[in-house]
Structures are given as structure tokens and as C-alpha cells.
Chain A
Amino acid sequence: MEYWLPLIFVSLMGLALLLYIILDGYDLGIGILLPLASDDDKDKMIEAIGPFWDANETWIVLGIGILLIAFPSAHGLILTHLYIPVTLMLFGLILRGVAFDFRVKVAAEYKSLWNTLFFVGSLLASMAQGWMLGSYVMGLETGPTSVAFSIAIALSLPAFYVVLGCGWLFIKSSGELYNKAAQWARVAILPMGIGLFLISIATPIASSEIAGKWFTLPAAIGLMPIPLMTAVAFFTALWILSRQQILDAGYGWIVFVCMVVMCLMMALGLAYSIFPDIVIGKMNIWESAASTASLKFALIGTVLAVPMILMYTIFIYKIFYGKSQPLSYE
């Protein structure tokens, strides 16, 4: 148990954070795109995420919650080192979260202010998350390499979210907005791809520990599917976006699927790079694990609750399935 429990919890934490990146990723991406849309489309874009964003955001609370429950000393170490980006992310998430309501509930003359704050919050949260991710991959170092790396991810992650958001708009919208999403995605996908490519190259250069894990035989061969699948997903998305007739036929959702596959592959790659550490080069998962009694108690609740959460999440996505409707409280 002492060996397995930290493994189970680190997997759950990875799953929660992966779901967060995908689910809140599309919300944040749509928020970043908001200023580019007409007033009418702005409302439609919010409609596409309105019923989901709150539950989507809860996955990061669960992810960080598991870090806290299962690895309390790593929790303190990581969050104190990431003090500034975490604070900026929180400011962003606060502004974005309340803008959903304020933009339609204050007097009409303030709606554009709250649309702008929606955008600012989404962008700020996305960039701060990129900074956090970069700094975390670099083992929370503060040297110039680490800072440069963090800046690179802080710039790439919003682009990734934007394409993900466009993918979601393909699923939830039609007509003019659908075509707008295609235009936006075409612009965003190349810098996103280049950014991800550079980051993948830079990671082993910047971190000798990660390089050691990837460039040894036979591991290197076994790991090939990860970059290959990522590349296949990327070029499939690129190809779909460049074929207007395929998009017109309603196949835009494939772009979203490709983005999810890329997320999954990158998460696997990242997990492999870090495991079994929880903070690279500083602390492994067993050193930082909470007591077995606490993990057992938490596991009972997790085993009971997570399947239920997944079930009712699916139930809710089914209720709001299909192209989004005007949001009304009726």
C-alpha cells in the first residue's frame, strides 16, 4: 500500500489536470478569441461554454487538491515557488468567471467592459498557466534558461487553447461563427505547432535529467509513438483546416479530437519525463506522500466519487449536446 497509494494518487492528479487542460482549455481559448468576434457572435461563443465552464474549472481544484491531499510537502514547495504566476492565474480566473454573469447582468453600457475583462482574464490565466507549467518542468529553477523556457510556454499555451476553443466552436456552432472559427484556427495552429515543436526540442536541452530519460535505448524506441501520434494529430488538424469543403460538410469536430489526442500525448510525455519525481530533481512521489492512513481514507472517497462525477458530467454534456442554444433561464 505504501508503494501503490502514491502511484494511484499521482495518476489521478495527472488525469484531473489533463481533463482541466482540455476542458477549461477550450473555455479559455474561446475567451481569448472573444474580442475578434461581432457582438452577436460574442453571445454565441459564451453560449457554447456557459453551462460547462464552472464544472470544467473544478478539475484544476481537484488536481491541486490531490497534490495537497497526497503530496502535502510538494504542494507547499510548488505553490510557494510559483507565487506570482499562481496569483496572476487567480486574478485571471476571477475576472473570467465573474464576467460570465456581469456582462449580462449589469446595465447595458458596461457590457463591453465585461467582454474586455472576459478576454483579459482568459488570456492572463492561460499565460500564467503556461508560466507555471514551464517553471514546473524546469524543476522550479529560476535561472535564465528556466525563465526563457517558461516564457516560451506562456506564449504557446494560449495559442494551444485558442485552437482547442476553435475545435469546440466547430462542435457547438454553425454558420458564420463556424467559419470564423476556421479562420481563427488556421491563423493560430501554425504558431502553436512551431511553439510546441520548439518546446519539445528545448526541454531535453534545458534539462539534462529529461534528456537522460528520452535518449537512451531501448526507451527511445518504445517512446516513439508519443511524438509520432502528436505529429499525426497535428497534421490531421492542419489538413482538415485547409480543406474548406470538409469543414463545410461538418467535420470540424475532428480538429477538436486531434487537439485532445495531442493533449493526451503531451501529458504522457510529460509524465514520463517527470516520473517518479513530483518536483524534478528535488523530491519524488514517495518522499512527499502523506501518511498511508490519510491516503486510504481519501482513496475511499475518490473511488466512490470520481466515477459518479464522470457519469453526471457525461449526463450533462448529453443534455446540452449539439449546437448551442441561446442561454435562457427558462
Chain B
Amino acid sequence: MELDPFVLSRIQFAANISFHILFPSISIGLCWLLVYFRLRYTFSDRDDRMDWEYAYFFWVKVFALTFALGVVSGITMSFQFGTNWPGFMERAGNIAGPLLGYEVLTAFFLEASFLGIMLYGKNLVSNRTHLISSFLVAIGTTLSAFWIISLNSWMHTPAGFTIENGVFMVDDWWAIVFNPSFKYRFIHVVLASLLTASFFVAGISAWRARSNVDGPATWKVIRTGVVLAAILAPIQIFVGDMHGLVALENQPAKIAAVEGIWETEKGAPLTLFGFPDEEARTTHMAVKIPKLASIILTHHADGELQGLNEFEDAHPPVAPLFWSFRIMVGVGFLMLAVAWWGAFALLKDRVGPWLLRALSAMTFAGWVATLAGWYVTEIGRQPWVVQGYIRASEVVADHAGGMVLSTLIGYLALYAFLLVFYIFALMTLASKPARSLRANIDFAGAKPTAPAVGAA
């Protein structure tokens, strides 16, 4: 078998970025939840106060662990641009470089620095400084998403540049940063993280509630997660739809693959299920609803949709997109259903064991939807790395296949090992009450419970 360094580099990058996104997808949202817990702690009266304190103590540990995994896997990404895809920076470096640079300068240092105070400084600084530090970490994680999503969006919908001798030159920074798909993608990603974190905290807390760990504090977290998810899930579906419309405008081949549309047609049906076959250029056993794809995507019953056959050898692989999209949407609607069920049950004060089981089962639902969503986006851009301008095959480093294979195996083994321990650590943490995770607690507020705001 011949080892193709291009294919191997691609698999390696996909493995790295898939592993990496698991952790920011939790930590961005979780950090805002922690800020919320601190705010509730600061502004609550005494009984509630301890509950929010416990909620914070438990979740800040999970956050520290998740954040560390995100940091180390993120650093790997920043080096891989150079080690495996040097052509990308040689040609698009004028644009990608400063965007990544702004991410390091405005986000990485901010979050990494104030994380120290957030995690270990609570006894050394005032509640206000601690609250501000937690807030700055949350701002940092979100700013980080802002810059990297800006670059990612630019790769999908490039704007604001001219090309000289094959090299991208900057024309208009505003147009680059706020490129056509940026705002939809950014909102979609931040909402995805908040939803992932909501299900994550609600799921683990439901598990804790069933084993009666931490009583009222656990229930407060369940309520927070469920209510937030119930509010955000429908908004996310709406934003996702708008995001799809932007993709139709800029990347019609991606949408054609997602919908499994082969020939350009007016009044295209929506394919619910089926088995796309790229060789035969058809979808087997397709279950279709007449005209619905045109209605959803063009808002006209007879709207025209371009088929895959219009984009010979420049359209993405069909089956992975077709399936990833259905998984994302399916899990998204499942999240909506469970969140609404939970919110309704909490409202009626009728939370049964089945709801708790369902929430626990959905702990990592956000991961599934997020990964599937990113596969739709990223595989959907293939064969391009910058849509319409640079193909991935043009920028790959000329390494020996065997060498890339060896590092790929190394990464896969390491990531599998870390993922096992991550889940294992979560289970260990979840089985312990927050109190036991604190070194020396003065229960029931023997700590100086200074008057709420700005206790110095």
C-alpha cells in the first residue's frame, strides 16, 4: 500500500481538530455558566449562597480540566499549520497570520493569565477581583472563538483581498474579519458551546442528583442547564437555518451535497433519508418530500437549486456531508425535545427519574451535534482550503508518508488515552460532593459572608 502524505496529513489534521473542539465546545459555555454561578453567589442571601458556592466549586474543577485539554490540543493545532500545511501560510499568511496573531494577543494571554486567579486566587483577592477575573477568562474564551471563527469563515467565504503572484494581499481588513458568513457562523458556534455546556452540566448533575450528591446545589445546576438549553435550542435551530442560507449563496456545492441533489432542478424535493452513491450519482432508496428543499432554501416552491453535477471534481464527498448533517439536525431536535420536557417538568415541579436518566444520557449530546456540524462545514469546503482559490492538495508539506503515519498513530493513541482519562476523571469528580473537594470548608457560612457587592 502506498502511503499518501496528503491523505495522512488530512487525517491527522482532522483528528487533531476533532479532538481539540471537544474541549472549547464545553469550556466557552461552561465559563459563562461559572460567571453566572459567581454572580448568583454574590447577590444571593445566605442559604442560597452556599448552594451557588458549591455549584461553583464543583464545576470550576471540571472547567480547569477541560480548559487544560483545550489549551494543549490547541497549541498542537497552531504548530500543525507549519509542519503539515506550509503552503497555506505561504499563500494566505498575509490574512491568516494577523487573525491568528490577534487571537494569541487578545485572547490566549487573557484567559491563561486570569485563569490562575480564577482557579487558585479566591483566597488571595477580593470577591470582586475574583469575579472580574472569571469574567475576563470568559471574555478570553469567547474572543478566541471570535478570531478563529473569523479566519475559518474567511476560508469559506473569502473577501477583502487581491491576489498578486498567487499570494493573497490584504485589501480591506473590515471585509476580511466580518466576511459574509462570519456573523452566522460565530453565533452558531457560541450558541453550540452554550448548549453543549448546558447539557453537559445538566447531564452530570442529573447523575449526581440520582445518587443524591450535593442536594440543593445540584438541583440549582440542573435547573440552570435545562432552562438555558430550553431557551437556546430553538434559537440555535433558527440561526442554523440562516447559516444554511448563507452557505447556499456562497457554497452551493456544499448544500447540494447536504441535500443529496444531483441535478439542478426547480421545485427540488427534500430528501429525508437515503443512501447517496457518488459513483452512480444518485441517492438510493431516497425518502423525499416534494418541493420542500426549494421551499426551505429559497422560500419559493419552484425555486431552483443547483445540483452536484454542476461542480465536476470540485464538490465535496457527498455521503459524509449527507449523513453528518442529518446527525446534527437529529441530535439538535432531540436536544430541543429533552430541554423542553425538562423545563416543563421543572415548571410543574414534577421531575421524575426518567427525566434525570434522559438528561444523563444526553450529557455529551452537544459533542455529537458539534462534531457533526463541523464535519458538515469543513468537509463541505473540500476540495478547497480557501473556497474557490486554494485546494488543500496544493499546500500540503512534502513529507515521507511513513513519517506522517508514525506521528498520526502517536496522536491517535495519545488522544484516545486522554479521552479515556477525561471521562474517568469526570466520573471520579462527579461521585464526590463539592464539600469534600474543598480542603477546609466552614459549612453554613462561618466564612465571612461580607455584604454582597464589591466585598473587598
| Chain A residues close to B by CB (< 8 Å) | 50-52, 54-55, 57-58, 60-62, 64-66, 68-70, 72-73, 75-80, 82-84, 86-87, 90-91, 93-95, 97-98, 100-102, 105-107, 110, 290-291, 293-294, 297-298, 301-302, 305-306, 309, 312-313, 316, 319-320, 325-330
Contacts and interface: CB of A to CB of B under 8 A. Distances in A.
A101 B105 CA distance: 25
18 contacts: A58-B104, A73-B90, A76-B90, A84-B403, A87-B83, A90-B75, A94-B76, A97-B71, A101-B65, A291-B170, A301-B102, A302-B101, A302-B105, A316-B113, A320-B124, A326-B439, A328-B438, A330-B439
Contacts of A325: 123-124
Contact of B114 (A78, A100, A106, A312): A312
Contacts of B428: 105-107
Main secondary structure of the interface of B (DSSP, over half): helix
Given A290-B97, A312-B113, 20 more contacts: A54-B112, A61-B104, A62-B109, A68-B89, A72-B93, A80-B86, A80-B398, A87-B83, A90-B76, A101-B64, A105-B61, A105-B425, A106-B421, A291-B170, A294-B93, A298-B102, A312-B110, A320-B120, A326-B439, A330-B441
**Residue among A50, A54, A78 with the highest chain B CB neighbour number at 10 A:** A54
A40 to B, nearest CB: 15
B229 to A, nearest CB: 26
Contact of B105 (A62, A76, A316): A62
Contacts of B424: 106-107
Contact of A330 (B76, B108, B123): B123
B112 A69 contact: no
Contacts of B75: 57, 60-61, 90, 93-94
B46 interface: no
Nearest to A321: B124
Contacts of A97: 68, 71-72
B122 interface: yes
Interface in B400-456: 403, 407, 410, 414, 418, 421, 424-425, 428-429, 437-439, 441
Given A328-B439, A329-B438, A83 B105 contact: no
Contacts of A66: 101
Contacts of A86: 79, 82-83
Main secondary structure of the interface of A (DSSP, over half): helix
Interface in B117-132: 117, 119-125
Interface residues of B, number: 70
B438 A330 contact: yes
Nearest to B85: A76
B245 interface: no
A329 B101 CA distance: 31
Nearest to B171: A293
A297 B98 contact: yes
Contacts of A306: 105
Contacts of B121: 51, 319-320
